[in-house]
Chains A and B, each alone.
Chain A
Amino acid sequence: MNNDKIFKSRARVLDEDLAGRASTSGADTLLAEVVSLERVTRRRRLMPSPGRALLGLGLAAALAGAIVVGPSLFKTSSEQVYASQAVTIDRVGDDYAFYFTDGDPDPAELEKAFRKVGLDNLTVKLVPVSPRQPGTVFGIDKTEAGAVAKFTGGDCPRRVENCLTAFSINADVEGPAKVVLSRPANPGEKYAHPADASWPGEALAGVNLQGRSLAEAARVVRERNLKVAYGLDWPLRSGEEGFRSEDEVPESRIDPGWPVTAAQTYNDGVIVLRAAPGPEATPPPGF
């Protein structure tokens, strides 16, 4: 037996042994569960949710000043200056671009990488998120007014294998500054950023509440011994596509007939039902 055959013989199962599996009950159930999930939303969230989304981080002010959500930054030529299992760093004009490749990164390893390119005062803070949304960059907490950090999520270059997310920062930034990255939450640990509650493994796995009335959705949630909280997504006054999020909205301000736009979880036994307020609703100051 040659080596290839030896290796192949160690497969637990071969594809040909799985013929017909695509139509089993388990496969059907999983398919139904997956397509009931909301796809990547095309709606644009203008601001990070200022309340629970950045729970305890005190980042909202820094984020508002430091982050630009926008198109790709990498139109100029770039040069790779560092690479490890966790991160690849490119110099792109006046910026450093970071491509993160580890969904459960070691802060010490990343800080070592930052120091290698001279970013001595750049540190890492990890926040727990759903294991189903690895590799999220939440932003940068900075003290220097001139620091500019830009998200480039999805702009991973093809050459960086396993790239999960990317962002860049001006190369002459002086610290201290802190990059806030996600790590998978431990079982039972509360998330710092909400996850879609209907994702597999989450509290409402496979239950699609989108489009249902808030009253009906709240009933479904409570039937599962979960608590309900509310959030509202207000359309932008400018008429642009997108919305501003209002969190922790009291039930007294909720119209039970408004349609649910999302059901979110922080893995804490509470489902946040988000809704688009009706045209008759009056937005709070600032919205």
Chain B
Amino acid sequence: MDEQDDRSRFEAVYRRTYEQILGYALRRCSSPEDAADVVAETYVVAWRRIAELPGGESGRLWLYGVARRVLANHRRSERRRLTRHAELTDEIAHFYPAPSHHGEHDGVAEAMDKLADSDRELLSLALWEGLDPGEIAVVLNCSRNAARIRLHRARKRFAKALGKTPLFASQPLIEKEAR
């Protein structure tokens, strides 16, 4: 395959997956600069390894796997760099309002923080990216059965963590009273 074919193929994959990869990064990065970096580095890896990039739906899952690794390296190195993707950063900055519209102390954030990173990522892939266990298995490079079991356990641990947070414990009462 010559370079022009690779470019055409890459552009098609880029246009088809950009919103999902951008979403993946936005949901996990604490600043627009970091999110822009993760998106950019994910596609740089994809371009440089275009021969390995699967076609069709598998391409999106492969890119999630790359994004996950890029993100992990960002977190490990705790780097704070000036991003050079100023345009992209500007476009996504409004997703980072100063105060969280969810509020910080309702117990849910606390419960999410209590989860191990692996549990949080499993739940995120299932509930934010909307992946089923088979697709999660591709992203995490494990068997479908392992993904299903780990997801089940992550759900149980999240429920347990929610149950331990005082404010959440009051929520069912409010719902019951409203009926």
Residues of chain A touching chain B, judged by Cβ–Cβ distance below 8 Å, are 1, 3-4, 6-15, 17-19, 21-27, 29-31, 33-35, 37, 39-40, 102-104, 131-132, 134, 158-162, 164, 183-184, 186-187, 199-201, 205
Contact = CB atoms under 8 A, between A and B. Distances in A.
B81 interface: yes
B44 A161 contact: no
Nearest to B175: A1
Contact of B22 (A10, A18, A40): A18
Contacts of A10: 102, 108-109, 112
Contact of B15 (A13, A22, A104): A22
Given A6-B108, A13-B23, A22-B15, A205 B49 contact: no
A225 to B, nearest CB: 16
SS class of chain A's interface: helix, strand, loop or mixed? loop
A184 B77 contact: yes
Interface of B: 3, 6-7, 10-11, 14-16, 18-20, 22-23, 26-27, 37, 39-41, 43-44, 47-51, 68-69, 72-73, 76-77, 79-81, 83-85, 87-88, 90-92, 95-96, 102, 108-109, 112, 123-124, 126-130, 140-142, 155, 158-159, 162, 171, 175
A127 to B, nearest CB: 14
B128 A11 contact: yes
Nearest to A199: B44
B79 A26 contact: no
A159 B19 contact: no
Contact of B84 (A11, A15, A200): A200
Contacts of A4: 126-127, 155
Ranked nearest first, the 6 interchain pairs of A and B with the lowest CB-CB distance are A26-B88, A22-B18, A103-B73, A18-B19, A26-B87, A104-B76
Given A39-B6, A131-B79, A187-B81, A7 B141 contact: no
B49 A30 contact: no
Contacts of A21: 18-19, 22, 91
Contacts of A205: 84
B30 to A, nearest CB: 10
Nearest to A32: B11
Contact of A35 (B11, B88, B141): B11
Contacts of B140: 161
A15 B19 CA distance: 6
